[in-house]
Structures are given as structure tokens and as C-alpha cells.
Amino acid sequence: MNRAWRVFSKIVFFSGAVVGLVFFVSACSDDSANDTELAESDTTEEAEPLWGMDADDGRGVLDTALEGVTASVPGFLVYPSPDGRHAFSWVDLPTAEKLDFQTDNHLVDLQTGQSIGAIAEEDGDFQNRNHGGMRVLWRDDSRAFVFRLEGKWAPREVGVVEIGPDGALRQRSLVFAVARAFAALLGREAPDFWDKAFDESPSEYLDCNVGCAFSEAGDSLAIQADFQMNPKQLPGQHYAAGWLTGVFDLKTDRLSVEAEEVTEARVVKEEE
């Protein structure tokens, strides 16, 4: 009798332990599932930075230079188009010195060696320019490109250029377009920080960084941009910063803003 009772007690204890283990595992599984769901819901994918806002590919301008090709303008020929028809002139430091640093970056027709136009006239990029640098993004069909000329706090210029059937260049400033949008944003969100008198030349007062990418159809550019006012943060003066995303239509030359925000607007304190 006692032996049978002991066996029965062991069976009951073992069954209870198994049931308890099942409930424990089930509870842990539910908690793990909840943790996973929370982790997934808390994870937001950040948009990849567009060309210009990204880190460059590490190549210098001269790494793109063509060899054995001459042109009617001084300097090297760099950043050739995908179809091999065009490239840009870019001069070394000795040549820039001879030109008193009033350099142009010409778009050159490689079939004729002739310039068909200059970008950033008398303010082009050259070797060892202080706070300088040049990048070019070609559209796949080689009939349009974006150029970026670096500056100290932000690029001196980011422009989009289309090459017409007759070879004529149609150039627009993306820096001016985004600066105008930022001026309107400040006028609405932080009016004490923006003087309406600056509206005619907003890029002189706002340091704007611009990233872009051609659409699949090639008729527009996706835009990412940010700005700073008073990037040195001089004491006693207004400092502001913000960002936007949008689309620049190459047919209408209009920037349509999709999202924008003023992230800071304050007077810089003396102790800063």
C-alpha cells in the first residue's frame, strides 16, 4: 500500500511539473513574440542619403581624367558622360595661378574639342582650391547632369544642366531653389528670424546643402536638403537650421516640397 502510494505521488508530481513547464514556455514565447513586435514597431528605416548628401566614392577629380584628349580650353578633361561625348575642364594649380584663380569649368564636346559652355563662370573648381571640390552626376542618357562645387560650410553651387538638341545648355541653380523654399519656411515658422528683404537672394544668407537623384523617367530630381543660418554660431546673432525633401521638376523648374521642418531657431548666447 505504501509503495503504491509513493508511486502515485511521483506520477502526480511529475505531471504537475510538466504542466508547469508548458505554461512557463508558453508565457515566455508570448513575451518573446511581444518583444519582437515591439522591436519591429520601434524600428524605422531612415531614407538613404541622396547623391551630394552621401559620402563620395573616394575618387579625386583627377581620378576621372581622360588621357590623350585635348581641348580648346586649358586643363584636364574630367567626369566624362556615359556616352563618351562630353567631359568637363578642370585646371591644375599652376594654371589656376596664371588665370588669377578666375577659372571656369567648361563642358567640352569631345568630338570637336570645343567648349559648349561654362558652369560657375570665374568661380570654377581647380586643384587645391581652399574648401573646394567638384562632383558630377550624369543622367543615364548623357543629356543632363548635376554639378556640385564645394564650399566651406555648404556647397557654393549645386546646379542642374540639360543639353539641348542644338547643344545649348539650360542651367538652373538647385541651391537657389531650396534656399527660396527655406526662406518661405522660416517666414512661416520663425518670422522673427527672417527678414523679407532677404527673399530676393536667400542663398546669400542661408548655407544650403543639397542632395538629389534623377527620376527613372529623367524628367525630375528627388531632393534632400538642409540649411543653416549663421553656421559659425556667432554670439548675439540668430541661428537657425532645418531640412526638407521634395521634387524638382525639370520641365517647370519648380521645387515641390513634400516635407520640411525648422529644427532650431534661437539667439546664440555669449557663452556658446
For 179-215, the pLDDT digits (tens) are 999 999 999 999 999 999 899 999 999 999 999 999 9
Distance of alpha carbon 192 from its chain centroid, rounded?
28
**In this structure, what DSSP letter does residue 191 have?**
G
**Locus of grid cell 581620378:** 63
Beta strands 207-214 and 169-173 are unpaired
Residues 6+ apart with CB under 8 A from 5: none
Q: Mean pLDDT across the stretch 253-272?
A: 94
How far CA 7 is from CA of 4, 10, 16, 19, in Å, comes to 5, 5, 14, 19
Given this model, what pLDDT does residue 272 score?
57
Which tens digits make up the pLDDT trace of 174-183?
A: 999 999 999 9
User: Is 76 exposed, middle or buried (CB count within 10 Å of its CB: 0-12, 13-18, 19+)?
Assistant: buried
Over residues 149-176, the mean pLDDT reads: 96
Q: For 9-19, how does the pLDDT look when each residue is reduced to its tens digit (9 = 90+)?
A: 444 344 444 33
